[in-house]
């Protein structure tokens, strides 16, 4: 599936001329989840980044396959957004963490403990990079007084209902059950030794979630012709040194850790997803139109949506 040679050739030819045109129609579909066994829907739970924005929670997305719920990242606000999206608040089928940056994991304690208090009795199956076990153990330890009082006091919560089964993963297929296969794709995210994007193949659709990444050949190879590519983005036009100590390195940081709208347009022009959804949007003042213009400048002429919390695709 991953043909790096082909992709390298394609990348070498990425001198695509600016090709503006085509239009985007930002819209929030309101199609309800159905019980049809294999219907696959992507729900954006958080399209933001570290800066707190009431309209854009921390990074998180759900892929629904029938009644199964697969979560990708656990940014701050995740349980409120899950409730708003009418997803189960008492546990999910599995959680996949892209990397351990705080903006992607600050919602993990919320996911662990709130689902327990709301009735979870099964361990949370959590997949992610090495270090997730230690992080989870530290979270469980940090709330030990809460666990004691809720379990042994008048709340009578289920003992160990907050349990988490952590699977520290390597690139490749990390989950394959009931027709749903999740593949971890190693991505390049600055100094992080381990960061992943995920490809989800269901009986009806293919979805790739980029996680945080600068342009990465493995991710490009894994995203060829997918139905939905959910990809992080920043505005190339707005990138400039910041007026703060160390702010002169901001453009360098962004180049090493993240993907600009123009770069994403080049990537999508190669991958040709049926739908490109922008997320983890580092706007720096850019409007939706500015971001789409950047993607068009990169050469992608297909359907683009600027991600919104609670949008369904
Ligand atoms: Zn990150
Ligand atoms: Zn991030």
**pLDDT category of residue 44 using cuts at 50, 70 and 90:** very high
Position 84 scores a pLDDT of 98
Cα 91 to ligand 2 centre (Å): 24
Q: How many CB atoms lie within 10 A of CB 290?
A: 17
Q: Which pair of structure tokens corresponds to residue 295? A: 């993607």
CA distance 97 to 89: 18
> Is residue 158 in some structural domain?
yes
Ligand with an atom nearest the CA of residue 101: 1
Check: CB of residue 46 under 8 Å from CB of residue 77: yes
103 has catalytic annotation: yes
Place of tokens 């695509």: 16
> Is residue 177 in some structural domain?
yes
> Is residue 313 in some structural domain?
no
User: In this model, does residue 8 exceed pLDDT 60?
Assistant: no
Contacts 24+ apart (CB under 8 A), 22-30: 22/296, 22/301, 22/302, 24/288, 24/292, 24/303, 24/304, 24/305, 24/306, 26/288, 26/305, 26/306, 26/308, 27/305, 27/311, 28/308, 28/310, 28/311, 28/312, 29/311, 29/312, 29/313, 30/312
Torsion of the alpha carbons at 50, 55, 56 and 60, rounded to the nearest 10: 130
User: Which residues does residue 51 pair with via DSSP β-bridges, in sequence order?
Assistant: none
**Are β-strands 60-65 and 68-72 bridged in parallel, bridged antiparallel, or unpaired?**
antiparallel
- The reported pTM is 0.89
Cβ neighbours for 270, distance < 8 A, ≥ 6 positions apart:
7, 10, 11, 14, 220, 224
How many domains does the structure of the chain reveal?
1
Range of the domain at 205: 4-306
Residue 208's φ and ψ, nearest 5 degrees, are -120, 135
Ligand with an atom nearest the CA of residue 75: 2
CA distance 29 to 202: 21
Mean pLDDT along residues 154-166: 96
> Is residue 312 in some structural domain?
no
Cα 258 to ligand 1 centre (Å): 8
Cβ neighbours for 130, distance < 8 A, ≥ 6 positions apart:
168, 194
DSSP state of 114: H
> Is residue 22 in some structural domain?
yes
User: In this model, does residue 1 exceed pLDDT 60?
Assistant: no
Mean pLDDT along residues 221-240: 98
Burial of 27 (0-12, 13-18, 19+ CB in 10 A): exposed
> Is residue 311 in some structural domain?
no
Residue 27 maps to which CATH number? 3.60.15.10
User: In this model, does residue 12 exceed pLDDT 80?
Assistant: no
Position 19 scores a pLDDT of 35
Identify the active-site residue in 35, 38, 73, 103.
103
Strand order in the sheet with 40-46: 40-46, 60-65, 68-72, 94-96, 124-128, 164-168
Ligand with an atom nearest the CA of residue 73: 2
* pLDDT tens-place string over residues 244-285: 999 999 999 999 999 999 999 999 999 999 999 999 999 999
Cα 258 to ligand 2 centre (Å): 9
> Is residue 214 in some structural domain?
yes
> Is residue 54 in some structural domain?
yes
Position 167 scores a pLDDT of 98
Say what angle helices 144-152 and 132-142 make with each other, to 10 degrees.
Answer: 60
* pLDDT tens-place string over residues 83-92: 999 999 999 9
CA distance 156 to 117: 10
**pLDDT category of residue 30 using cuts at 50, 70 and 90:** very low
Position 36 scores a pLDDT of 80
């Amino acid at each position: 599936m991953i043909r790096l040679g082909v992709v390298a050739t394609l990348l070498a030819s990425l001198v695509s001329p600016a090709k503006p045109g085509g239009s985007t129609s930002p819209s929030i579909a309101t199609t309800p989840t159905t019980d049809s066994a294999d219907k696959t829907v992507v729900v954006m739970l958080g399209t933001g980044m570290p800066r707190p924005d009431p309209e854009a929670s921390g990074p998180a997305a759900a892929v629904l396959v029938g009644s199964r719920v697969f979560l990708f990242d656990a940014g701050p606000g995740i349980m409120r957004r899950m409730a708003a999206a009418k997803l189960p608040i008492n546990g999910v089928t599995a959680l996949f963490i892209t990397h351990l940056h705080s903006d992607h994991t600050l919602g993990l304690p919320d996911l662990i403990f709130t689902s327990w208090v709301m009735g979870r009795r099964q361990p949370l199956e959590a997949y992610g990079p090495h270090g997730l076990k230690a992080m989870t153990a530290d979270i469980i330890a940090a709330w030990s007084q809460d666990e004691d009082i809720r379990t042994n006091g008048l709340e009578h919560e289920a003992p160990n209902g907050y349990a988490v089964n952590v699977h520290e993963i390597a690139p490749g297929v990390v989950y394959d059950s009931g027709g749903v296969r999740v593949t971890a794709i190693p991505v390049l995210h600055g100094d992080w030794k381990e960061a992943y994007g995920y490809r989800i193949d269901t009986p009806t659709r293919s979805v790739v979630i980029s996680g945080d990444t600068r342009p990465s050949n493995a991710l490009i190879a894994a995203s060829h012709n997918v139905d939905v590519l959910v990809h992080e983005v920043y505005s190339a036009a707005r990138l400039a040194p910041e007026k703060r100590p160390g702010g002169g390195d901001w453009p360098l940081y962004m180049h090493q850790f993240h993907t600009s709208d123009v770069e994403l347009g080049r990537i999508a022009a190669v991958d040709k997803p049926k739908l490109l959804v922008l997320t983890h949007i580092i706007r720096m003042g850019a409007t939706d139109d500015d971001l789409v213009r950047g993607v068009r400048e990169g050469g992608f002429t297909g359907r683009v949506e600027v991600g919104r919390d609670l949008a369904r695709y």
